[in-house]
Amino acid sequence: DGRVDFSGQWFPNGAGQGVSGRFGVDPAAIPQFDPKATPEERPSFQPWALAKIKAMTPTELELSKSSVNCMPRGVPAIWLQNPYTTLIVHKPGLMAQLYEVLNNWRVIHLDGRPLPKDPEPFFHGNSAARWEGDTLVVESIGFDERTYIQPNGWFHSDALKVTERYTRPSMNYLIVEITVDDPKVLEKPWKSAPRRWTLGSGDIYEFYCTNNATFEELTKLREQELKK
């Protein structure tokens, strides 16, 4: 149809580097963040939000990780902290994203429908897409508040709006850029550095969270901490 085709199995470059939530936060502001972070715009938290994150205990920080609590990563975390492959099936009017991590999936309609006025909160939000030249722009609102932007305590409010920009500069590469706009938590929108994904060939495998012993142990530990 004259549009870029984003179909393919995509491998994140530098697999695993995004899992620890090391992107763009001033380590002097939040000691838990890795001071060796890749240069990227730093999120500007409102004072109350920064204080809330800094007050989180190590146990609470662990419980914010989807790999621990068996919750979907959600958007935009699925692009910011995903070391596993993503299979994209792109057809006119529709894009399906099949994430190997925790067998998450997402459908984005490309038929020009607007964002809902009163969206039901979903882990991946409610999305609307448009084309800007060869760039696919996806805007999403209405997110389940149990998800985290990154697994370092960066929470979000019900006002979260996420914009994803997809480009494919060549056959072998997919570029994803994320903008997080959350006026209740951030002082200004945060924009990620471009994330590059490489085209591969193979299968995506089952990845279900079936053993939740770690979550149960951490939950008990957190209850003990709160009693102190």
Q: Tell me which residue of 172, 211, 176 sits closest to 193, measured CA to CA.
A: 176
Phi/psi at 61 (nearest 5 deg)?
-65, -40
**Which pLDDT score, from 0 to 100, does residue 10 have?**
95
How far apart CA 91 and CA 70 sit, in angstroms, is 31
Q: Which two tokens stand for residue 159?
A: 């006002």
Task: Quickly count: other Cβ atoms within 10 Å of residue 219's Cβ.
Answer: 15
Which residues, given as ranges, of the chain have pLDDT below 50? 15-37
User: What kind and span of H or E run contains 199?
Assistant: strand 195-200
**DSSP output for 10-70:** EEETTTTTTTT--SS--TTT-TTS-TTPPS-PPP-B-HHHHHHHHT--HHHHHHT-HHHHT
> Measured in Å, how far apart are the chain's first and last C-alpha atoms?
63
Half-sphere exposure of 134 (CA within 13 A, CB side): 10
211 Cβ partners below 8 Å, 6+ apart?
none
Please give the model's pTM, rounded to 2 decimal places.
0.82
Reported as a single tens digit per residue, the pLDDT across 44-92 is 999 999 999 999 988 888 877 777 778 888 999 999 888 889 999 999 9
For tokens 């972070």, name the residue: 37
Q: Tell me which residue of 151, 155, 156 sits closest to 65, measured CA to CA.
A: 151
Cα dihedral value 119, 121, 124, 128, nearest 10:
10
Q: Which two tokens stand for residue 17?
A: 């580097």
Contact 147, 127 (CB under 8 A): no
How far apart CA 143 and CA 96 sit, in angstroms, is 19
**Which pLDDT score, from 0 to 100, does residue 189 have?**
97
**Which pLDDT score, from 0 to 100, does residue 65 have?**
79
